[in-house]
Amino acid sequence: MNAMLNWLAQIASITKFGLMSIPQRRGAVFATVIGIAGVVAVLVGVLSIGAGFRRAMTNSGSADAAIVLRSGSDSEMVSGFGRAETRLIADAPGVARNKDGPLASAELFVIINLAKRSTGTDANVPLRGVEGAAVSVRENLQVAEGRMFAWGKNEVIVGRGASREFAGLEVGSTVKVGREAWPVVGVFTANGGVAESEIWTDAKVLQAAYKRGDSFQSVYARLNSAAAFTEFKDALTSNPQLNVKVLRQSEHYAAQSETLTRLISTLGFIIAFLMAIGAVFGALNTMYSAVAARTREIATLRALGFGSGAVVIALMIESLVLALLGGAVGAGLAYAAFNNYRAATMNWQSFSQVTFAFAVTPHLLVQGVVWATLIGLIGGLLPAIRAARQPIAAALREL
């Protein structure tokens, strides 16, 4: 026990000397801390894009809401139903009801071209036709500005994200749908979810404008509970009149976000890995110069009886402290610069734009600090071993 305490005291002393001598080496230390901060900031920043996109998509659907598509469809774009089918779906067991009937909305989905505010280039913006129950089916959907469109009229409301990202979507402006200009009468929010990237109108009006007859592409339904999903799904998939694919909305949106988040994560890790290699060399350089500058001090301590193991551990701790400092600076920078930064990108499943906010989540911050720790450990190990293996007698005479 005493030996262990003694050893820990040795480590603490050597670590303290190292940290106290940092002001004498502040240039190299600063470069290392900034290098590691850069790696962490870039890693966290890039991954926050994926996390924000995933959050926008998963905020869109809850476990007690379902989406029904034609069997074999990956997205609403390639799905299709007639009126008779959507009625069967709305009347299926498990669907929640209110005084107006089942909470199910048959919807259709078209894409219109609008200019991005940031670049002025055209982008695909989803225009969704909905039925009366649509607002009740989605959680937290609220008209934040203006009013709801009038049923049966050529009017639209636009999501907050779409209004922010695309030109000409303010209340009072008009949107070109086919050959006509439809007024924007309201702006709605949906808890940051994917619906905020869309423009909504009455499904019947949209069917007429696009000559879709009485066809739809999907049915959104709110269920009695999350547990009612199985009953709902079984009822639809076992009905010989229907040929459908039934998903929880949460699962549907998670699947939609998968391709992009995987791409972003892979790119983020590759960039961060390449930068981390550079940062490791920076840390190596700093710790080698720390060891070189303190050769005589370390040799003196070892001559007095301090152990080589304690020297190694203490130098590793010093390297880790610098790395964690860099990690914290990088994570802080990433949070300040990227958290809630708003952007829009293509959802490749629906070929339309999704607006979202970058999300610097606690998980990403931890991930950044873990990378910093690894850089610190790798950068500190070799110099620490060198310090511990230097012949004491020769090192004592170093100037």
Partner 1 sequence: MSDSQAKNNELVRVDNVEKIFHRGSEEIHVLSKLSLLVPTGEFLALMGPSGSGKSTLLNLIGGLDRPTNGTVTVAGDRIDQLSDRQLAAWRARHIGFVFQLYNLMPVLTAERNVELPLLLTTLTKAQRQKHVATALAMVGLSHRAKHYPRTMSGGEQQRVGIARGIVTDPTLLLCDEPTGDLDRKAGDEILNLLQALNREHGKTIIMVTHDPHASARAARTVHLTKGQLTREAVA
Residues near partner 1 (CB under 8 A): 2, 5-6, 9-10, 13, 17, 20-21, 296-297, 300-309, 391-393, 396, 399
Distance from C-alpha of 105 to C-alpha of 97, rounded to nearest angstrom: 12
Q: Which is nearer to partner 1, 240 or 399 (CB)?
A: 399
**Least distance in Å: CB of 22 to partner 1?**
10
Question: For residue 77, which of 55, 107, 47 has the smallest C-alpha distance?
Answer: 107
**Least distance in Å: CB of 296 to partner 1?**
6
Q: Which is nearer to partner 1, 252 or 302 (CB)?
A: 302
Q: Which is nearer to partner 1, 189 or 289 (CB)?
A: 289
The DSSP line for 196-245 is: GG-EEEEHHHHHHHTT-TT-BSEEEEEBSSTTHHHHHHHHHHT-TT--EE
Burial label for 183, CB within 10 Å (0-12, 13-18, 19+), is middle
Q: Which is nearer to partner 1, 18 or 161 (CB)?
A: 18
**Least distance in Å: CB of 291 to partner 1?**
15
Q: Which is nearer to partner 1, 213 or 393 (CB)?
A: 393
Evaluate the CA torsion angle 278, 282, 288, 291 in order and state its sign: negative
Position of tokens 């990108």? 345
**Least distance in Å: CB of 282 to partner 1?**
24
Distance from C-alpha of 40 to C-alpha of 370, rounded to nearest angstrom: 9
**Least distance in Å: CB of 366 to partner 1?**
33
**Least distance in Å: CB of 299 to partner 1?**
8
Q: Which is nearer to partner 1, 17 or 281 (CB)?
A: 17
Tell me the residue type at 226.
A
Q: Which is nearer to partner 1, 251 or 297 (CB)?
A: 297
Distance from C-alpha of 249 to C-alpha of 63, rounded to nearest angstrom: 7
Tell me the residue type at 202.
D
Residues contacting 175, CB < 8 A, separation 6+: 112, 114, 127, 156, 158, 168, 169, 181, 182, 183, 184, 199
Tell me the residue type at 46.
V
Q: Which is nearer to partner 1, 262 or 296 (CB)?
A: 296
Tell me the residue type at 42.
V
**Least distance in Å: CB of 399 to partner 1?**
8
Secondary structure letter of residue 393 according to DSSP: H
Q: Which is nearer to partner 1, 24 or 266 (CB)?
A: 24
217 close to 74: Cβ distance less than 8 angstroms: no
Distance from C-alpha of 210 to C-alpha of 25, rounded to nearest angstrom: 70
**Least distance in Å: CB of 298 to partner 1?**
11
**Least distance in Å: CB of 392 to partner 1?**
5
323 close to 379: Cβ distance less than 8 angstroms: yes
